[in-house]
Amino acid sequence: MIPPYVTTTHGALFSADCLQILKELKSGCVDTVFADPPFNIGKDYKNGYNDRVSHSEYMKWCREWILECCRVVKPGGAFFLYATPELAVQFAPIMGESLDFRNWIALTMKGTYPRGNRLYPAHYALLYYSRGTPKVFNKLRLPIETCRHCGKEIRDYGGHRNKMNPDGVNLSDFWTDTSPNRHKKFKVRPGVNELKLTIPERAVLISTNPGDMVFDPFGGGGSTYQAAERNERNWIGVERYDAAHIQKRLSEEFPFSVFKAPQFNLEELFTRENQQHQVLRRIEGEGVSARPGAYIS
Ligand SMILES: C[S@@+](CC[C@H](N)C(=O)[O-])C[C@H]1O[C@@H](n2cnc3c(N)ncnc32)[C@H](O)[C@@H]1O
C-alpha cells in the first residue's frame, strides 16, 4: 500500500492512479462505490489530465476500472456511476457482468446545447447497481416542493395533500435539484466540474449506514469524501492529479478530523501480498499529512 496523501478520522485519500489503488484493495471490502469519471470529451481539468484519447482506448480503460470497482463491492453493496447517457449505455453492461441493475437515475442538466441532429440533452445518468439484494436501502424523502418566489406549495397532489407524509415525498429516480455548481464562488477548484454535494450524498445515504465504507476512484474536488465524512461513513479516495484541493476542502470543512488517524484499520483493506512488500506501522497516535513517509515500512 502506498502511503495516503492525507487521512481523516473517517477516511484516507491517495494521490495515485485509481487502478493502482483498486488492484491492491481486497475483493468485497467496500459497501458503496461512487464514481464520476472523466468523460473523454476534451475537458480541461486544469491539472494535467488528458481528457481526449481514442474512444477504444478510453473504453478499454473504463472497462478495467469499472470491473475493479465491481470486484471491491461487498455482497449487498452498491455501485453508483455518474455519466452522460451515451456513456452510461456502454458502462451498464460492464457493471451488469457481476452486479444487479437497480436504477437509472436521471439528473436534470441545465446549460447544455443541442448537438447536430439529436434531441437537446437535458439529463445525466446515475447508474445504480448492487451486488445481489442490497444490504442497506434507506428510503430518502424530499421536502414538499414550494415556489421559490411566493413560498406556496407547487402541487396539490390530486387533492390528497392531507394524506402526505409530513417528512416529504419519496425520492424518485428523477432528480431535478442537482445541476452542477457552475458559479465560481461555489467551486472548490475553479474550472473543474464538481458535482453538487447532494449527488454523492444521496448515494451514500441511500446505500450505507454510519461506519460503512465508501470508495470513490476519481476525487476531483472531493465531494464524495465530504459527503461521507459529514455523515460518519468511512471512505477511501483517490485523485491522480491534484489531491491538494481535496485536502484543503477537508481541512476547511472538518478541521478537527483532518490529519487524524482513520478510526478503521486501513491496512486491513489492502491485499496481503502487497503488504508483505511494505509492512506498515503507524506513527504513534498520529494520522497522516501530506508528508511522505508518515507511514513507514
Ligand atoms: C469528473 S472529475 C470528479 C469530480 C468529483 N466527483 C467532484 O464532485 O469533485 C474526475 C477526476 O478524476 C481524476 N482522474 C482522472 N484519471 C484518474 C485516474 N486514473 N486515477 C485517479 N484520478 C483520476 C481527474 O483528475 C479529475 O479530477
Per-residue pLDDT of the chain (297 residues; tens, 9 = 90+): 899 999 999 999 999 999 999 999 999 999 999 999 999 988 777 777 788 889 999 999 999 999 999 999 999 999 999 999 999 999 999 999 999 999 999 999 887 777 789 998 999 999 999 999 999 999 999 988 888 788 888 887 888 888 888 888 999 999 999 986 555 555 555 555 689 999 999 999 999 999 999 999 999 999 999 999 999 999 999 999 999 999 999 999 999 999 999 999 999 999 865 554 443 444 334 444 443 333 322
Of 14, 218, 223, 236, which is best to mutate to test ligand 1, by the most ligand atoms within 8 angstroms of its C-beta? 218
Residue 2 to residue 243: CA distance in whole angstroms: 15
* Residue whose CA is at the smallest distance from ligand 1 atom 7: 194
What whole-number distance in Å separates Cα of residue 112 and Cα of residue 268?
44
* Burial class, 98, CB count within 10 angstroms (exposed 0-12 / middle 13-18 / buried 19+): middle
1 lies in some domain: no
Task: Report the predicted TM-score, pTM, of the whole model to 2 decimal places.
Answer: 0.89
Report if residue 21 sits inside a domain: yes
- What distance in Å separates the CA atoms of residue 25 and residue 19, rounded to the nearest whole number? 10
Q: What is the pLDDT of residue 281?
A: 41
- Residue 185: the pLDDT is 57
Query: Cα–Cα distance between 227 and 248 in angstroms, integer?
Result: 15
The distance of Cα 297 from the centroid of its chain, to the nearest Å, equals 30
* Whether 237 contacts 16, CB under 8 Å: no
Q: How far apart are the first and last CA of the chain?
A: 10
Q: CATH no. for residue 54?
A: 3.40.50.150
Residue nearest to atom 16 of ligand 1 (CA): 240
197 part of a folded domain: yes
Query: How many domains is the chain partitioned into structurally?
Result: 1
Identify the pLDDT of residue 110: 84
Residue 31 lies in a domain: yes
| Structural domain range at position 108 | 6-296
Mutate to test the pocket of ligand 1, among 53, 239, 245 (most ligand atoms within 8 A of CB): 239
**Could you tell me if residue 46 is inside a domain?**
yes
Query: Which pLDDT score, from 0 to 100, does residue 28 have?
Result: 98
User: What is the pLDDT, as a whole number, of residue 282?
Assistant: 41
Distance CA(213)–CA(136), nearest Å, equals 12
Per-residue model confidence (pLDDT) at position 190: 58
Residue nearest to atom 13 of ligand 1 (CA): 218
